[in-house]
Amino acid sequence: MLGLELVVVLGTAVLLGNALGQRFGVAPPVVLLIVGALIGLVPAVRQSQLPPDVVLLLFLPVLLYWESLTTSLREIRSNLRGIVLLSTVLVILTAWAVAAAGHAVGLPWGPAWVLGAAVAPTDATAVGALAGSLPRREITVLRAESLVNDGTALVIYGLAVGITVGEEHLTLPHVGALFLLAYGGGVAVGVAVAWINMNLRRRLDDPLLGNLVMLLAPFTAYLLAELIHASGVLAVVVSGLIMAQVAPSLIRAEHRRQALAFWPLATFIINGALFVLVGVELHYAFRHLSRADLRDALIAVGVVSVVLLLVRFAFLFSSAYLIRLIDRRPQQRLRRISHRARTVSGFAGFRGAVSLAVALSVPETVDSGAPFPDRAFIVFVTSGVIVVTLVVQGLLLPGVVRWARLPRDTSADEEQILAETTATEEAVEALPELAAELGTTAKVTEWLRQEYEAHLATVRAKGAGTDDDPALLHNRHYTDLRLALIAHKRATVVRLRDEQRIDDAVLRRLQTALDYEEVRLAGREQAE
């Protein structure tokens, strides 16, 4: 029964934390951490412990897959060099610096490297939740960095754990082979799973079956990669990026509509639950530390948090100057960003679900059967560092963004207007030919032409930025009247059901059609 109770508690915590965050203008992850810490005071929750592999194998693939599906591949290509450096070199340097700091406060080198691997990668979901006010380019770089750097961190983690428990040996060829297998194998598995996914989606007409394939894809990619000791994280990310490119022309509208109703809710719940679990895990680690160890762990949290920030800032600024020294091409100069923007990126290096998953995955014992050294210390420090980065940096980031005075990013709005204008113009041009092919009557053709031309005038007016344009006014009146008519039709259908003139099944069918129309019209109104 405890499992069901935990489900209710976690769900209530996610609801409460997000509601309070929206009410008081605080980033929800910060509130969720606090709620989790309070829940950890409950004896029944405090006595339970999350299985080590649950986060890594159950939660992480879903979150990574959705982040990959909603990340811009074009922006990744444009900023590929910076993303590669951040997700490999920076992760290795960060893990080394944290390991050195951990060793300085008393950890043996093996556990110190485990700690370094746990806190080295930034977290994609935390970045998305806390850095939403940043320009599109910076958001894409941060998200892409946090999607790829998990693979690097997990290779370091596997080496550190293997050496500590007595399963691995540390030589340069061996480490190189592990990295090659992790990245090469991860990419290969991701491509293979995406190919299978594409072929299945072409053949499945049922939206439920199609979306079941979509749900299985991240777990399949992660599992197959782990079976060959490759990077499951990278396999999921590559599979998601490929599907993001082919899905618009491959997946049917009803499949996509159902997926967009399910995935945002699922990832929202999972992500919120993970932030709550970070707060809960603090109590678990706290109970397994002596007074002296707790003092050392608190010192380590502060030291590691400072090290993470210093290493990130040092790398961001030094790598920029190094690239400018080596690459003097004109197009490279166009890609440069200001020091203020780089400072914002430094503060946006949040830790989250991946760090928690790595820390919880540390085995309980070594090969000899003895307890894994300082496991509770690693879990506590990792959880503490997550709290510090999310709370301190998360609360400071809005002020840093205001200080940076970053230019407003209007590129997405401009590209949307370009796409709508071009698509509508070409549709109007193709209308006579399509009508002739289909044998459409002249009256219907003229009606559609007028509707499309009215929409084109509205889009052009939005692009010109003239709020008082007659086309915009006409569109607002049209939308408002259509929404009022939909509400009236819905009330009529409900009345007929109440009078028992139609069945509930008929009501649901008609209500679904009205809901789709209302959402479409309301979305168009908000887009203006």
Question: Which residues of the chain, if any, have pLDDT below 50?
Answer: 1, 525-528
Tens of pLDDT, residue by residue over 488-522, are 999 999 999 999 999 998 999 899 889 888 888 87
- Looking at the structure of the chain, the number of domains it has is 3
Residues 42 and 102 in one domain: yes
pLDDT of residue 52: 59
* Residue 477 buriedness (CB in 10 A; 0-12 / 13-18 / 19+): exposed
Residues 249 and 361 in one domain: yes
First to last CA, the chain: 50
Residues 352 and 215 in one domain: yes
Residues 441 and 391 in one domain: no
Residues 352 and 438 in one domain: no
> At 230, which CATH number?
1.20.1530.20
Residues 390 and 485 in one domain: no
Are the C-beta atoms of 76 and 245 separated by less than 8 Å? no
Residues 473 and 453 in one domain: no
Give the SS3 label for residue 370: coil
pLDDT of residue 217: 95
pLDDT of residue 160: 84
pLDDT of residue 1: 42
Residues 95 and 165 in one domain: yes
In sequence order, which ranges of 327-410 are alpha helices (DSSP H)? 330-334, 339-347, 353-360, 375-388, 394-404
Q: Distance between CA 393 and CA 390 in Å, rounded?
A: 6
Q: Distance between CA 301 and CA 497 in Å, rounded?
A: 61
Residues 10 and 59 in one domain: yes
pLDDT of residue 198: 93
Tens of pLDDT, residue by residue over 18-28, are 898 888 877 78
Residues 505 and 391 in one domain: no
Query: What is the residue type of 69?
Result: L
Q: Single out the residue of 503, 485, 483 nearest to residue 494, CA to CA.
A: 503
Q: Of 445, 466, 487, which residue constitutes the final position of a domain?
A: 466
Residue 430 belongs to domain spanning: 413-466
pLDDT of residue 117: 92
Residues near 18 by Cβ (< 8 Å), separated by ≥ 6? 28, 31, 32, 272
Q: Of 389, 405, 421, which residue constitutes the final position of a domain?
A: 405
Residues 361 and 376 in one domain: yes
pLDDT of residue 315: 93
Q: Distance between CA 92 and CA 117 in Å, rounded?
A: 8
Residues 306 and 341 in one domain: yes
How far CA 341 is from CA of 164, 270, 289, 393, in Å, comes to 40, 31, 40, 15
